[in-house]
Amino acid sequence: MSDIRPTLDAARALLRARFGFPEFRPGQDRAVSSVLAGRDTLVVLPTGGGKSLCYQVPALLLPGVTVVVSPLISLMKDQVDALTARDIPATFVNSTLSSGEVAERMARVARGEVKILYLAPERFDVGTAAERLKEVGVSLLAIDEAHCISEWGHDFRPSYLRVAKVRERLGWPPAVALTATATQHVREDIARQLRLENAETIITGFDRQNLHYHVVPTRSDAEKDEALIGLLKRHAGVGIVYAATRRNVEKVTVTLERAKIKAMAYHAGLDDEHRHEVQEAFMTENVRVIVATNAFGMGIDKANVRLVVHHSMPGTLEAYYQEAGRAGRDGRHSDVYLLHAFPDRFTHEFFIKGAHPERQVVERVYARLLGSARKDGAVHVDAGAIAATLPGKVSDREVESALRILAHAGALRAEPENGSRVHVRLLATAERIKREIGETDPLKLGLLRALWKVSGDAIYDGITVDLDTLPAPFRGLTGTMPLLDQLQQTQFLEWHRLGGGDRIANMRRPLSGYPIDWSAFDRRRTNELSKLDAMQQYAYCKSCRRAFVLRYFGDPAAAKDCGGCDNCLGTHDASRRDKRTVTAKPADTRAARRNATRVARVEPSEFTPGAGDAVLLEHLRALRTRIAKEEKVPPYIVFSDRTLVEMAVRRPKTDYALGDVRGVGPMKIEKYGERFLALLRAADETEAA
């Protein structure tokens, strides 16, 4: 390769000629300059900030091929299609291709006909892909969605951990890691995992000032559907609605269609043809709304999305920020809404617990397998059946994760079936065989005699037999297996094929003898729960939401009042029945100068119960006393007197409204919320009657 490096001026000229942009956006020029200089580079640009150009432009100026590691099959193909449309030689290799298609594309790469190759991280382990690419000459290794390599990131993928090893196999080409969502901790982990040397780190800020952030409190899916329909009818332009599961995507799509809102579903269950049909309809605006799951929604790149609505709360702020960032990529005003219900948290906790079972669960699963395994270690694995036998509320998902941990550690292994070798144990005595089979079934009697000749009395303890060594007509598995099944059904013998299924690696080895990093599982579980806490704190945030997000990512641009969220605009409380008194801010404040119509809440300093509140207040105090006795704590630990007075006066009816009472946080809502809300609702019903 030449020592003469392309210049940034050459990159600008290529940007204009091949991509049609007059100039690089903020941060792009620094990233491109660093990559062209051959430096390892870490790029953090907001969603819509143009991360892909940071490696696509250099790829066309550098010799050899640029390899792009990407976790998203849909986005991979979309980017290749966009590059091909610009006559830029690019291709991808992933699991959607046949072996023949893979071979053809890799041959094009070897002939120098491809400048940008997109690969899933798993593909480097297939054949000699890395070695063949090294021979071609890899000038740049780009790692898209680089947060996936960090266990502290919001979408950790173990397959990304192999990327550093791949980089070594490629001959240590310069690397550029790109992400839109990375805290300081995650950025440091990305650099460590990829072994970036003296990396140039480029962070342009996380703020998208054209986006306005809103949270709509709801109690049920029905309320979410009603709120969603209202938002789509009030807001013009195309929108994306995110739902948590395929089932919810389909359900929300039907709900919108019934409301005469043209919508289509987009998720991993669609075949390629249907997926392209849906995406094309959305891109051409033949359909106004696309309802998508999170990962496949990331494959949608449309600049004029005016509205993004989350039908349920994501598990992390990183995911929320990234998905909300699909709105307003053209820089124009757009709105993002979170339809929030407190129980949304429980779904995420269920999945976190299922993905990262506690050590005690794994130990109990292993003990259960040992107890049900045969002497040779063969064991029937059924996650549901195992979960049903374990103490406590252990889900199938937790057992499935425990089984994966055991398999990864080598304690449990799956074996292929081994031809005609079988294990047979005779149950019936010679007298019974003579009495019940005799000469009436010569085939069964002949098989038993053939087995006896092989082993004699040892067959009563169980023997291993290669059926290919038996005399005709019992030679081989095909003709003999039906006879063995019939004899087993009538309890003359029991048999099973050797190999195949699951097997305990060593029946005498305790679980402590296997290399399992329990602390790593604990760290990941704790990390995901802390991210979930941050997401829910955002939903309950009473100050500036934009500032909350920016502080989370460590962005110094965070301010106290943004003028671009429901709290700062004063629109959040105005939409709720238990709203507080609002008053305009003084006209000479900085916020008022930015938005003369903005209003701010005045926190009531005291609540004075009226005559109608006194009885309710006593009931609330009695409930607090009962709970305090149950938990053996002082009553004020449950709720303070002031909190009970505010409850009695304001009479909240939902988790969200209860959370607005001073002294009531998410943890207390989870522990006591339903009991106090039941009392508050019952009080109103009694008075109304």
499 - beta bridge partners? Answer: 417
The pair of structure tokens assigned to 54 is 């940071």
The DSSP-derived string for 352-368 is: HHHHS--HHHHHHHHHH
Neighbour-count burial of 124, counting CB atoms closer than 10 A to its CB (0-12 exposed, 13-18 middle, 19+ buried): buried
Q: How far apart are CA 502 and CA 207, in angstroms?
A: 51
Q: How far apart are CA 63 and CA 2, in angstroms?
A: 8
Instruction: Find out whether 541 and 567 touch, Cβ atoms under 8 Å.
Output: yes
pTM for this structure?
0.62
**Identity of the residue numbered 317:** L
Q: At a CB cut-off of 8 Å and minimum separation 6, what does 77 contact?
A: 92, 96
CA Rg value for the chain: 32
Q: How far apart are CA 325 and CA 577, in angstroms?
A: 30
Q: How far apart are CA 677 and CA 670, in angstroms?
A: 12
By residue count, the chain amounts to 689
* CA 287-292-294 angle, 5° bins: 150
Phi, psi of 502, rounded to the nearest 5 degrees: -105, 155
CB atoms closer than 10 angstroms to residue 12: 17
Look at residue 417 in the predicted model and tell me its pLDDT: 61
Neighbour-count burial of 158, counting CB atoms closer than 10 A to its CB (0-12 exposed, 13-18 middle, 19+ buried): exposed
Distance in angstroms between the alpha carbons of the first and the last residue of the chain: 87
Kindly tell me the sign of the dihedral angle through the C-alpha atoms of 485, 489, 490, 491. positive
Q: At a CB cut-off of 8 Å and minimum separation 6, what does 198 contact?
A: 39, 40
Q: At a CB cut-off of 8 Å and minimum separation 6, what does 688 contact?
A: none
Look at residue 278 in the predicted model and tell me its pLDDT: 86
Q: Is 113 helix (H, G, I), strand (E, B) or coil?
A: coil
Phi, psi of 22, rounded to the nearest 5 degrees: -70, -35
Look at residue 581 in the predicted model and tell me its pLDDT: 33
Q: How far apart are CA 320 and CA 244, in angstroms?
A: 12
Look at residue 634 in the predicted model and tell me its pLDDT: 66
Domain boundaries, the chain: 8-203, 211-341+527-601, 349-415+505-516, 417-500, 611-688
Q: Which of 601, 537, 596 is nearest to 575 (CA)?
A: 601
424 - beta bridge partners? Answer: 463, 495
Q: How far apart are CA 365 and CA 83, in angstroms?
A: 50
Q: How far apart are CA 113 and CA 89, in angstroms?
A: 7
* Interstrand relation of 502-504 and 378-379 (parallel, antiparallel or unpaired): antiparallel
Q: What is the mean pLDDT of each run of 10 residues along the chain (689 residues)?
A: 78 87 88 94 82 93 92 78 86 85 89 91 70 88 87 70 85 91 83 89 83 93 94 92 90 95 87 81 88 67 87 90 86 92 87 88 93 84 86 86 90 74 87 83 88 88 85 80 87 80 86 90 87 92 90 77 86 48 37 36 49 82 88 76 85 83 78 89 67
Q: Among the residues of 287-374, which ranges form H helices?
A: 294-297, 317-324, 344-355, 359-372
Look at residue 309 in the predicted model and tell me its pLDDT: 96
CB atoms closer than 10 angstroms to residue 343: 13
Instruction: Find out whether 323 and 308 touch, Cβ atoms under 8 Å.
Output: yes
* Interstrand relation of 65-69 and 378-379 (parallel, antiparallel or unpaired): unpaired
Task: Provide the 8-state DSSP code for 18.
Answer: I
Look at residue 580 in the predicted model and tell me its pLDDT: 35
The DSSP-derived string for 157-194 is: -GGGGGHHHHHHHTT---EEEEES---HHHHHHHHHHH
Q: How far apart are CA 8 and CA 408, in angstroms?
A: 47
**Domain 8-203 -> CATH class:** alpha beta
CB atoms closer than 10 angstroms to residue 332: 12
The pair of structure tokens assigned to 355 is 């993905």
465 - beta bridge partners? Answer: 422
Q: How far apart are CA 672 and CA 639, in angstroms?
A: 10
Q: Which of 400, 385, 398 is nearest to 358 (CA)?
A: 398
* Interstrand relation of 65-69 and 417-426 (parallel, antiparallel or unpaired): unpaired
The pair of structure tokens assigned to 651 is 């009479």
For the segment 100-137, what is each residue's pLDDT rounded down to a tens digit?
Answer: 888 899 899 989 999 999 988 777 665 677 888 888 89
CB atoms closer than 10 angstroms to residue 677: 19
Look at residue 537 in the predicted model and tell me its pLDDT: 93
Does 8-203 match 611-688 in CATH topology?
A: no
Q: At a CB cut-off of 8 Å and minimum separation 6, what does 571 contact?
A: 214
The pair of structure tokens assigned to 39 is 């430096």
Question: How many whole angstroms from its chain centre is CA 378?
Answer: 34
Look at residue 582 in the predicted model and tell me its pLDDT: 34
Q: How far apart are CA 247 and CA 253, in angstroms?
A: 10
For the segment 601-611, what is each residue's pLDDT rounded down to a tens digit?
Answer: 333 335 666 76
Neighbour-count burial of 438, counting CB atoms closer than 10 A to its CB (0-12 exposed, 13-18 middle, 19+ buried): exposed
Q: In the CATH hierarchy, which fold is given to the domain comprising 211-341+527-601? A: Rossmann fold (3.40.50)
**Identity of the residue numbered 662:** R
Count how many Cα atoms sit within 13 Å of the Cα of residue 178 in the half-sphere of its side chain.
Answer: 26
Q: Which residue has the tokens 């040992």?
A: 370
Which CATH number applies to 611-688? Answer: 1.10.150.80
Q: How far apart are CA 253 and CA 265, in angstroms?
A: 6
For the segment 501-557, what is each residue's pLDDT rounded down to a tens digit?
Answer: 788 888 889 999 998 989 888 888 888 898 899 999 999 998 999 999 888 887 777
Neighbour-count burial of 409, counting CB atoms closer than 10 A to its CB (0-12 exposed, 13-18 middle, 19+ buried): middle
Look at residue 574 in the predicted model and tell me its pLDDT: 44
